[in-house]
Structure 1
Amino acid sequence: MKFVHTSDWQIGRTFRFVDDETQGALQAQRVDVIRRLGLLARAQGAAHVLVAGDIYEHETPTERTLYQPMERMRDFGDLHWHLIPGNHDAHTPDGVWHRLMRDGGVPENVTVHCQPGAVQIDSAENVWLLPAVLERRHVLTDLTAYMNDAPTPPGAVRIGLAHGSVTGFGNGEEAQHNPLALDRAKQAGLAYLGLGDWHGFCQIDARTCYAGTPETDRFTTGGGGGGEALVVTVQGAHAVPDIQRHRTGHYIWKKLDAVTLTTAEDIQALEARVRSIAPDNPGAVLAWLTVTGLLSVDDLALYESTITRRLRAAVACLRVAGSPQLSAGLDDLDRFGSSGAIRSAAQTLLKQAEGGGEEGAIAADALQRLFLLWNDGKGAAA
């Protein structure tokens, strides 16, 4: 028995820090990844795709958003897709699942499991699926507990599917909601327990895994940010499953450590570092930088040109926290000429900036902008 395990599609998710164009592209990839999951299942010879909750981001999506994932799954009629509700799309009265089933929007090759209990999904291999079903966003009881005593025929391969937080694994308030026993697979005699809610891959034990979201949706400094699905092979009821990770995400989200810039070489190294995330496709990169440092007037202009303009246009999204500050002295004021209103204003700002404090910070920022505008004006004139 071979199947694909995935979760947390969260169709309809919005990202507040991007522009409208990038927003649309990110949302489109969250839908298009369903096609990549179907192609993965076909390529691996898996007849079933198990989706461990949070297919939708909201309980009341628009009609188009509601039907998009269903139509993508309909295109793969040779595969059977098994869905359970998650905390974002719980099986509530008049929620997404009631709407779809009421309007006949669920394709024949898709099963929405809205009741707990063992369901046979492969008669030839005697495979039974045991779904846990969230009927509201948060519960305080373990919905997988019933699996311990759920009857299945002798020799059955029992596969659990649930959405929640493994007890003792997460932290914070969310970890207290929708708790799941750490050793549920062992207690319930499961060959495999596929989990959703955690957005990065995480293997709890030899039979229990979070698949993570198939299209990355958050910045990380290392791995574990999603963009994967699992291909699981189960040889029998008691055999340890073979679990293989496969890349499915289009976008790469990367958060870089604090970057200090003091020279032109630092700026060029930062550009190279971001471009190296996906050298063949920088347009698939979302990067979050934290920038500090002191730059000369010329290097500050280089930073604006290289990072703020050119690199920002090359990647899908460049999110920058902080900025390098201007390091300027009296000699730099000669750029404005030996006299005149602009020279006088710059000299006043420089003096205020050197005084420090809140006023000094505002003056330093104003002087920085003045130098950049002056340089831009010279470039335009040339």
Structure 2
Amino acid sequence: MRLIHTSDWQIGKVFRFADDDVLPVLQHERLEAISRIGRLARAQGADAVVVAGDIYDYTRPAERTLRQPIERMRQFPDLRWHLIPGNHDFHEPDGLWDRLLRTGLPDTILPHLSDDPAPLDAAGTAWVIPAGLGHRHVIGDPTAGMDRSATPEGAMRVGLAHGSVRTFGEDAPDHNVIAIDRARQAGLSYLALGDWHGALRIDARTWYSGTPEVDGFDVGGAGGGQALLVTLDGPRAEPVVESHDVGRFRWRREQAVLTDAAGIEALDARLRAIDRDDPSRVLVRLAVSGALNLTDLECYQTRIVDGLGSALRLLRIDGAPGLAPSPDDLDGFGLAGAVRAAADALVRQTHEGPEDGRDIAAAALQRLYLLARAGDPQSGGGAA
């Protein structure tokens, strides 16, 4: 049989760095990923989709947010969707899972709110052994009961759990920590895990699927944006696991030290190359340093801040190039007169003034430069 392993949808997630234009797009795409997972399952002949926790990002979603992923899954009545609570959407009394049950779910959408094994596929050739969370933090191993879970003779056993196979330092409490060899101990054909947001192989029978739609700059290069196609040929056969891209957005951390126009041009080309066909799929957090003269600083503003900032889905810039006016820059203000005197004074302030006033002086000098260029007929500015 074949199944799709996914997790960490985190529907309703709030991206606090995103503005009002970007946020709803990111949230909507997390729902679109569910439809892509369903189409992948159909195309690959999968019998079921197992979702290893964190379907929602928090325990008290609004009614619309609660129902939206269910409606996406409802569009695939030929698939069985097996869900468990994670640490973000743990099962609490009268919480979101009880609310979901009261809405009247289709028979093909199966929340597992206890640790009782259940048929994974309609024929019962495989059984799911769930280990959802009843609290955000569970002391001990939430999968410990899998060893004792009884399933029919000859059935393939698929564990479904949410947690970590490692602790995070001596001072970190042991919350939701799963035995790294649980698949072997419990006689599992496959153990589908959720919690880590990048796809990760623990051993031949134990995998994290990662989140289907990358949700942070630190996950972009770590296997996020995928779902796993798992082929099981028998209870003891080693599963065949294939990763399939289902995410839309590409998240990147980049850095640049800018000192001249060539560096700006190279940065522009590098960021556009992340996705040449559709730069609106790209979100970049860019760390910028260096120093530019006034001409190049204008180029940086035009090509990177304004140009790429409009082309990419999101360009978040940390830092900025400093200002290092060239003699040609200053000569553009004239060799004498009030404007040149003001420019010279601002240059001195950018180097010698109070620390908290240097950025202001640099911005003022750049503004003065742009105004001077606008009034110079040879620069292409000025009134017609």
**2:330 matched residue in structure 1:** 333
Name the amino acid aligned to 1:326.
Answer: L
Q: Distance in 1 between matches of 2:213 and 2:284?
A: 16
1:366 aligned to 2:366?
no
Q: 1:359 to 1:47 in 2, by over 3 A?
A: closer
1:198 aligned to 2:199?
no
Q: Distance in 2 between matches of 1:286 and 1:171?
A: 31
Q: Distance in 2 between matches of 1:331 and 1:172?
A: 58
Secondary structure class of the residue paired with 1:180: coil
**TM-score, structure 1 normalization:** 0.93
Q: Distance in 2 between matches of 1:312 and 1:213?
A: 26
Deviations 1:247-292 (A, max 9, x none): 0001110111x31111111101101101100111101000111111
**1:261 matched residue in structure 2:** 258
**2:217 matched residue in structure 1:** 219
Q: Distance in 2 between matches of 1:203 and 1:332?
A: 56
Name the amino acid aligned to 2:18.
Answer: V
Structure 1 residues 306-321: aligned runs within 5 Å: 306-321=303-318
Q: Distance in 1 between matches of 2:304 and 2:364?
A: 20
Name the amino acid aligned to 1:152.
Answer: T
Structure 1 residues 270-285: aligned runs within 5 Å: 270-285=267-282
Q: 1:206 to 1:319 in 2, by over 3 A?
A: same
Is residue 220–residue 250 contact of structure 2 (8 Å, CA) maintained in 1? Answer: no
Q: In terms of mean alpha carbon deviation, does 28-37 or 323-332 score higher?
A: 323-332
**2:68 matched residue in structure 1:** 68
- Alignment: residue pair count: 379
Is residue 349–residue 366 contact of structure 1 (8 Å, CA) maintained in 2? Answer: no
Structure 1 residues 27-176: aligned runs within 5 Å: 27-104=27-104, 106-122=105-121, 124=123, 126-168=125-167, 176=174
Q: CA deviation at 1:359?
A: 5.0
Q: Distance in 2 between matches of 1:175 and 1:249?
A: 32
Q: Distance in 2 between matches of 1:160 and 1:297?
A: 61
Is residue 159–residue 190 contact of structure 1 (8 Å, CA) maintained in 2? Answer: yes
Q: 1:371 to 1:228 in 2, by over 3 A?
A: farther
Name the amino acid aligned to 2:183.
Answer: A
Is residue 294–residue 324 contact of structure 2 (8 Å, CA) maintained in 1? Answer: yes
Q: CA deviation at 1:331?
A: 4.9
Is residue 6–residue 50 contact of structure 1 (8 Å, CA) maintained in 2? Answer: yes
**2:294 matched residue in structure 1:** 297
Q: CA deviation at 1:302?
A: 0.5
Q: 1:186 to 1:307 in 2, by over 3 A?
A: same
Secondary structure class of the residue paired with 2:46: coil
Deviations 1:104-163 (A, max 9, x none): 2x2221000000021122364621100002111111121100011111122221000000
Deviations 1:151-200 (A, max 9, x none): 112222100000011135x5587773211111000000000000001000
Name the amino acid aligned to 1:328.
Answer: P
Is residue 329–residue 350 contact of structure 1 (8 Å, CA) maintained in 2? Answer: no
Q: 2:187 aligns with which of 186, 189, 201?
A: 189
**TM-score, structure 2 normalization:** 0.93
Is residue 255–residue 289 contact of structure 1 (8 Å, CA) maintained in 2? Answer: yes
Name the amino acid aligned to 1:235.
Answer: D
1:229 aligned to 2:230?
no
**1:381 matched residue in structure 2:** 382
Q: In terms of mean alpha carbon deviation, does 121-130 or 44-53 score higher?
A: 121-130
Q: Distance in 2 between matches of 1:375 and 1:226?
A: 49
Q: Distance in 2 between matches of 1:376 and 1:11?
A: 50
Deviations 1:210-242 (A, max 9, x none): 000000111138621510000000111111100
Is residue 231–residue 245 contact of structure 1 (8 Å, CA) maintained in 2? Answer: yes
Is residue 183–residue 205 contact of structure 2 (8 Å, CA) maintained in 1? Answer: yes
Q: Distance in 1 between matches of 2:242 and 2:369?
A: 51
> Unaligned regions of 5+ residues in structure 1, if any?
none
Q: In terms of mean alpha carbon deviation, does 41-50 or 145-154 score higher?
A: 145-154
> Unaligned regions of 5+ residues in structure 2, if any?
none
Q: Give me the CA root mean square deviation.
A: 2.1
Q: Distance in 2 between matches of 1:290 and 1:66?
A: 37
Deviations 1:13-61 (A, max 9, x none): 1111121111111111001111000000000000200000000011111
Q: CA deviation at 1:380?
A: 5.8
